[in-house]
Chains A and B, each alone.
Chain A
Amino acid sequence: MARHGRIAAGAALLLAAAAAFVLPDWIISLATIAFANGLVVLGLIVLWRAGLVSFGQALYYCIGAYAVALVGRATGVTDAFLLMLIGGAAAGLVAFVVGFLLARYREIFFAMLSLALSMILYGVLVKAESLGSTDGFSVASPTFFGYAPHQEKLLMALYWLVLAVCAIAAFLIDAYFRSVSGALAMPVRDNEIRVEFLGMSVSRLIHTKLVISGLLAGMGGALAAFAIGHVDPNMSYWTTSGEFVFITILSGAGSVVSAFVGSLAFESLRSFAFAMLPQLWQMLLGSVLLLTILFLPQGLGSLVTRLRWRRKAAAP
Chain B
Amino acid sequence: MLTAFAILIDGLVYAAYLFIVAVGLTLIFGVMKILNVAHGSFYTFGAYGAATAIGIYFDRGWPDAGGFLLMALLAMALGLVLGLILERSVMRLVYGRDEVVMVLVTYAAFLILEDVVILVWGAQSYPTYQPLLAAGNTAVGALILSNYDLGLIATAALIAVISWWALKFTRYGRLLTAVIFDRETAAAFGINVTAVYTITFVIGAMLGALGGAIMAPKIAVTLGIGVEVIVLAFAVVAIGGMGSIEGALIGALIVGICRAAAVHLVPQVELFVIYGVMALVLMIRPYGLFVRAQPRRI
> Are A and B close enough to touch in the complex, i.e. CB under 8 Å?
yes
Q: Which of A's residues lie within 8 Å of B, judged by CB? A: 51, 53, 55, 101, 104-105, 107-109, 111-113, 115-117, 119-120, 122-124, 126-128, 193, 238-239, 242, 245-246, 249, 279-283, 285-287, 289-290, 293-294, 297
Determine if B286 and A109 form an interchain contact, defined as CB atoms under 8 angstroms apart. yes
For residue A194, which residue of chain B has the nearest CB? B298
Partner of B275, one of A119, A193, A246, A281: A119
Q: Which residues of A contact B118 (CB under 8 A)?
A: 279
Q: Does B276 contact A (CB under 8 A)?
A: yes
Determine if B108 and A104 form an interchain contact, defined as CB atoms under 8 angstroms apart. no
Determine if A279 and B115 form an interchain contact, defined as CB atoms under 8 angstroms apart. yes
For residue B100, which residue of chain A has the nearest CB? A53
Determine if B115 and A280 form an interchain contact, defined as CB atoms under 8 angstroms apart. yes
Q: Which residues of A contact B282 (CB under 8 A)?
A: 105, 109, 112-113, 116
Determine if B238 and A281 form an interchain contact, defined as CB atoms under 8 angstroms apart. no
Q: Does B274 contact A (CB under 8 A)?
A: yes
Bound CA span A105–B286, Å: 8
Q: Which residues of A contact B191 (CB under 8 A)?
A: none
* Total B residues in contact with A, Cβ cutoff 8 Å: 48
Q: Given that A116-B282, A286-B111, A290-B105 are contacting pairs, would A238 and B231 also be in contact in the complex, using a CB cutoff of 8 Å?
A: yes
Determine if A124 and B272 form an interchain contact, defined as CB atoms under 8 angstroms apart. yes
Q: Does B81 contact A (CB under 8 A)?
A: no
For residue A113, which residue of chain B has the nearest CB? B282
Determine if B101 and A293 form an interchain contact, defined as CB atoms under 8 angstroms apart. yes
Q: Does B187 contact A (CB under 8 A)?
A: no
Q: Which of B's residues lie within 8 Å of A, judged by CB? A: 35, 90, 93-94, 98-101, 103-105, 107-116, 118-119, 123, 227, 231, 234-235, 238, 242, 267-276, 278-279, 282-283, 286-287, 296, 298
Closest CB in chain B relative to A275 CB, distance in Å: 16
Pairs across A and B, CB under 8 Å, 12 listed: A101-B283, A105-B282, A108-B35, A109-B287, A113-B279, A116-B235, A116-B279, A119-B231, A120-B279, A127-B267, A293-B94, A293-B104
Determine if B234 and A112 form an interchain contact, defined as CB atoms under 8 angstroms apart. yes
Q: Which residues of A contact B123 (CB under 8 A)?
A: 279
Q: Which residues of A contact B104 (CB under 8 A)?
A: 53, 245, 249, 289, 293
Bound CA span A297–B105, Å: 12
Determine if A107 and B114 form an interchain contact, defined as CB atoms under 8 angstroms apart. no
Q: Which residues of A contact B275 (CB under 8 A)?
A: 116-117, 119-120, 123
Q: Which residues of B contact A286 (CB under 8 A)?
A: 107-115
Q: Which residues of B contact A105 (CB under 8 A)?
A: 282, 286
